[in-house]
Amino acid sequence: MQKKFPLLLFGLVLILLLTSCDRPAIEPSPTANNPPATAAFATADEKLCFACNGSGDVACTNCVEGKMDCPGTCLRLNRGSWVHMEVAGHPPTDLWQKFDLGNGGYSALGQNHVGHVVVFQNGKATDGGPCPICLGKTKILCKVCAGTGRHACLVCGGKKSVPTAWTPTDNPWFNAQPDLLRLKDGRILLGKVVSSIGDDLTVKTRDGKSQNLKASDLLPKPGK
C-alpha cells in the first residue's frame, strides 16, 4: 500500500501537466508597458482623425441625449412667459401662461397642460389635447442622429483616419464652411459680414461677437 500511493500521486501530477498544456494562453491586458495595438491605416499617409480622435463618430450638437424640442406649437416651459398666479385649487408654486383676449382680458393655462396644443374657442384659450407631433412629450427624436446622440464624424466621414496633411483648420469639411473667413495675417474666423462701408467691414462671428476688419485684409475664397 505504501508503494502504490507515490505512484498514484505521480500519475495525478502528470495528468495535470498534460491538460494544462492544451489551455490557451491568457492575453495580457494593455498597460503602459504593454500598449494596445495601433490603428491600421490604408496608406502610410494617414493619421487618426483629429476631430473624433479616431472613433469615427462624435456627439450630436443638434440635440441633448438624442432628443430635441418639438417643432410644433405645443405648450413648453421654455417657450413663452410663465408666471405664478393665485388660482383656487392650485398651489402658489404652479406656473401659468396667460393668453391675451383683448380689452384687458385674458385666459390662462397651467403647467399641467404642457405638451398640449392651445385652441381658442369662443374667444378663450382652451386645451386642445396632446400635441400630435410629440404626443405631449414636448420632445422628439433628433433627425440628425436618429435619437442615438451621436453621428458619423463630419471630417473623416466615419473612416476614423484622415490624410496626414489635413489640419483642424485646413481640411475639405472646414474649408467648405460658408461663413469661413481667412485673413492675410493667418487668422481664421467663422462669421458673416453684417455691414460694410468702403474698406471697413463688421463681422458677426458664430459666437455672437462683432469684429471690425478691412476688406483688403481678407483672402479671396477658393474659386473666386
- 53 in a domain, yes or no? no
For 48-82, how does the pLDDT look when each residue is reduced to its tens digit (9 = 90+)?
999 999 999 999 999 999 999 999 999 999 999 99
Could you tell me if 206 and 179 are in contact, meaning their C-beta atoms sit under 8 angstroms apart?
A: yes
Model confidence, pTM: 0.58
- 95 in a domain, yes or no? yes
Residue 42: what pLDDT? 60
Specify the number of domains making up the chain: 2
Rounded CA-CA distance 203/174 in Å is 19
39 falls in which pLDDT band (50, 70, 90)? low
- 12 in a domain, yes or no? no
The domain in which residue 220 lies consists of 177-224
- 54 in a domain, yes or no? no
Calculate the dihedral angle through the C-alpha atoms of 139, 143, 145, 149, rounding to the nearest 10 degrees. -10
CATH code for the domain of 221 = 2.30.30.700
Residue 73 sits in the same domain as residue 129: yes
28 falls in which pLDDT band (50, 70, 90)? very low
The last residue of one of the domains, among 122, 141, 160, is: 141
Could you tell me if 47 and 38 are in contact, meaning their C-beta atoms sit under 8 angstroms apart?
A: no
CA distances from 182 to 51, 82, 169, 219 (A): 20, 44, 10, 6
